[in-house]
Structure 1
Amino acid sequence: MSEQSNNSAPQSEEIDLGQLFKLIGDAFNRFFNFIGNIFKGLFDLLIMFLLFIQKHFIKFAIAGIIGIAGGFYWDYVSDKVYRSSMVVEPNFNSAQQLYNNIEFYNELADQEEYEALKETFPALTSEEAASIKSFEIESFSDQAQKIKQFSEFIESLDTISQKKVDFDDYLENFNNINAQFHRITVETENSRVAKKLQSPIVEAIQANSYFELQKKINDENIGLSDSLYQAQLTEIDTLQKFYREIKLREALKEQASTSISMGDAKQKDSEELELIKQEEQIKNSLIKLNEEKANTRSTINVISDFPNKGVEVDDFWNKKLVLLPILLVGLVLMVLMILELNKYLNKVRTIE
């Protein structure tokens, strides 16, 4: 009995393993058949679509030719559009107000509120105001600028907060308003209008009472810091003169006496070196202060002016010569597909 049970055990294991491999093989077959059916179905759809295009090719060709001819004529009779760009650097957190203003100007142009535009930009005539098509603002910053801004942001935090923020967290919360530079783009039918918009756009921000106060306080802080640095430099200069006088007196004493105190000499040299280091640090701080003074001279720094004459907009995909044929061919395609679907539904109804 024991021998029979021992012989039957391996046979049952072989049967179980055989069934397992068979199940695995069937699963793989079903999976590959499923994938094959998907590709077969996609291929059938592609063939049906190509047959549909072949059947109605002449209709599509006629729609395309009409679209090209109509688009060419439309582009020919349409007024040319010119694009001008200005790059600015907002200070005192004025970027949000700048974006709001540009959005407001764009709404006026989009709604053809030309009299309101003329009131907003007094230098424009009624015809020049009517020539404005759109306003747009966008930020731009490369990786180096983001790293620089991140370093400045980290320096403004306390030690505990610095440990909780990394560069990835900063980038995740970075938005257009955080960027240092912003490009304002204006499209007009008059190539020389954009230049007249520059001063009002900048002055609208600078005239804001909040930003005027921020600039005034910033100027006072810079002036106070400059005075403190200059006073420290004067004190350091006085101390350096004092140490030089002491050295001169000690040198005269040494000529009359052979005793030399090495410890006192080393201590004075160390103090003098410390004064030199402090002087260098203060001078570096003055350099940074002067850079800040230059950068915050205005609420809005104009990095690049609007040009005297805009550049003609020649975007290929925005031309009517391109858009109209695509639109007409797409319309014909949609109508024909609806007709084919209607035929199919009628056929199904008849069979039922």
Structure 2
Amino acid sequence: MSKELPQNNNNEEVDLLILFNYIGERLNRFFGLFKKIILFFYSTFIFSAKAVIKNIKLIVIVMVLAGVLGYVLERSRPVVYDSNMLVRTNFDTKYQLASNINYYNALISDKNYQALSEIFEISEDDLQHVERFAMAIGPETENERIVEYDRFLKSIDSIRAQDITYDEYLENRDIYSGNLFEITVESRKKDIFRSLETGINESFESKYSLEEKEKRERKLDIRKQSLEAQLNTIDSLQSVYIQVIQNESETTKTNLDLGEGLLLKQDKSQTKEFPLLEKRVKIVDLLRALEEERLEEDELFKVVSQFQLTGNLVSHWYNKYSLLFPLIAFGLLSIGYVARKFAVYVSNYEG
């Protein structure tokens, strides 16, 4: 036993040494790789800085010229204005609106200003300033998105609805998911937007939407007639009960003495005035809700906000030529420098 113990200790020490050597080797490799990465970025930075400093005059001249050219083109480009209009659609008029927006843009691309003039009832000269029409989802609150999600779940199978989360719904919904839309018009004339509203307001009507509106009206009328019939029945029953109570109050109660202290009295009729009153209140509430529903969606669309009298100046980053051209010029110079160095390296390479 005494001989085996030192041997076991020696084996454990050897295993620990091997483990420490393995860990040390891995750490050295890791730090070596890290050092190479740092040196690579450092060398790249020094190489780039050296190339820039060496060719600073050429770079400055080219970038200044590119900036001047971009500024001239930026100033010569027509100024564009835009304005937004918010609308809330009913009876699926959003599909007709989207179709008409695409149609208007197609007419602009074809320069068919005569057709546009017939639609918007303004001169062709004014319509030549219009750049494009666009349609997007309108601004929404979190509560409105939740209501839309709840409405979507009710429209699909209950088993399938369990697998669709709120985040998945928001990620996968398209422009037609809601009913509030933002219509944007871009034009080179800044005070034309209000003149376009009449034509846009006529973009919502379609045969399908009119049929859906008429169908909804007929359904509401049927429900209203049914509720009014129930209300008339309740009123008739209430009149009967009231008449019964009045008759009982006017009739003198007859007491018959049967002797030995026994009296025979006429019992009062059992009526149900209170349940009828409760039922009547519920029906009146349903009728009021019915009329509110009719008033809420009584039109094909509602204009939430109109176009502004004067549009806003459109400024996109890709139209900033005075900034983009110098950056593009610097990028082209860098590519040219690297390509030249690579060509020299390939020419001198001997394997």
Structure 1 residue corresponding to 2:341, chosen from 323, 340, 343: 343
SS across alignment from 1:205 = coil
Structure 1 residue corresponding to 2:210, chosen from 199, 209, 212: 212
SS across alignment from 2:200 = helix
CA contact (8 A) 2:89 2:302 kept: yes
Task: Output the CA distance in 2 between the equivalents of 1:111 and 1:63.
Answer: 39
Question: Which residue is equivalent to 2:93?
Answer: 94
Q: Which has the higher helix share?
A: 1
1:222 corresponds to 2:213: no
Identity of aligned residues (%): 23
Q: Which stretch has the larger CA shift, 217-226 or 282-291?
A: 282-291
For structure 2, the 5+ residue unaligned runs are 256-262
| Distance verdict in 2 for CA 1:41–1:112, change over 3 Å | farther
Amino acid at match of 1:126: E
Amino acid at match of 1:95: K
| 1:240-283 CA-partner distances (Å, limit 9, x unpaired) | 44445555566678988898999x98x847624xx42x444434
Task: Tell me how far 1:336 sits from its aligned partner.
Answer: 4.3
CA contact (8 A) 1:80 1:312 kept: no
SS across alignment from 1:204 = coil
Within 5 A, what are the aligned runs for 1:87-166?
87-119=86-118, 121-140=119-138, 141-155=140-154, 166=165
Task: Output the CA distance in 1 between the equivalents of 2:210 and 2:11.
Answer: 92
Amino acid at match of 1:11: N
SS across alignment from 2:204 = helix
Q: Which stretch has the larger CA shift, 284-293 or 133-142?
A: 284-293
Task: Tell me how far 1:37 sits from its aligned partner.
Answer: 2.2
Within 5 A, what are the aligned runs for 1:1-12?
2-12=1-11
Task: Output the CA distance in 2 between the equivalents of 1:302 and 1:293.
Answer: 18
Question: Which residue is equivalent to 2:275?
Answer: 271
Task: Output the CA distance in 2 between the equivalents of 1:201 and 1:132.
Answer: 14
Question: Which residue is equivalent to 1:310?
Answer: 310
Question: Which residue is equivalent to 1:53?
Answer: 52
Q: TM-score, normalised by structure 1?
A: 0.80
Amino acid at match of 2:42: F
Task: Output the CA distance in 1 between the equivalents of 2:125 and 2:310.
Answer: 17
Q: Which has the larger radius of gyration?
A: 2
SS across alignment from 1:88 = strand
1:298 corresponds to 2:299: yes
CA contact (8 A) 1:63 1:325 kept: no
CA contact (8 A) 1:138 1:183 kept: yes
Task: Output the CA distance in 1 between the equivalents of 2:124 and 2:318.
Answer: 27
Q: Which stretch has the larger CA shift, 68-77 or 225-234?
A: 68-77
SS across alignment from 2:182 = strand
CA contact (8 A) 1:64 1:326 kept: no
| Distance verdict in 2 for CA 1:288–1:157, change over 3 Å | farther
Amino acid at match of 2:93: S
CA contact (8 A) 2:136 2:182 kept: yes
| 1:33-64 CA-partner distances (Å, limit 9, x unpaired) | 32332233223223332333333333343344
Amino acid at match of 2:125: E
Question: How many residue pairs are counted as aligned between the two chains?
Answer: 341
Question: Which residue is equivalent to 1:286?
Answer: 287
Task: Tell me how far 1:184 sits from its aligned partner.
Answer: 0.6
SS across alignment from 1:25 = helix
Task: Tell me how far 1:164 sits from its aligned partner.
Answer: 5.8
CA contact (8 A) 1:108 1:117 kept: yes
| Distance verdict in 2 for CA 1:192–1:18, change over 3 Å | same
Task: Tell me how far 1:162 sits from its aligned partner.
Answer: 6.0
Task: Tell me how far 1:220 sits from its aligned partner.
Answer: 1.6
| Distance verdict in 2 for CA 1:144–1:25, change over 3 Å | same
| Distance verdict in 2 for CA 1:59–1:244, change over 3 Å | farther
Task: Tell me how far 1:95 sits from its aligned partner.
Answer: 2.2
For structure 1, the 5+ residue unaligned runs are none
Q: TM-score, normalised by structure 2?
A: 0.80
**CA RMSD, 1 decimal:** 3.5
Task: Output the CA distance in 2 between the equivalents of 1:173 and 1:253.
Answer: 75
Structure 2 residue corresponding to 1:324, chosen from 319, 322, 325: 322
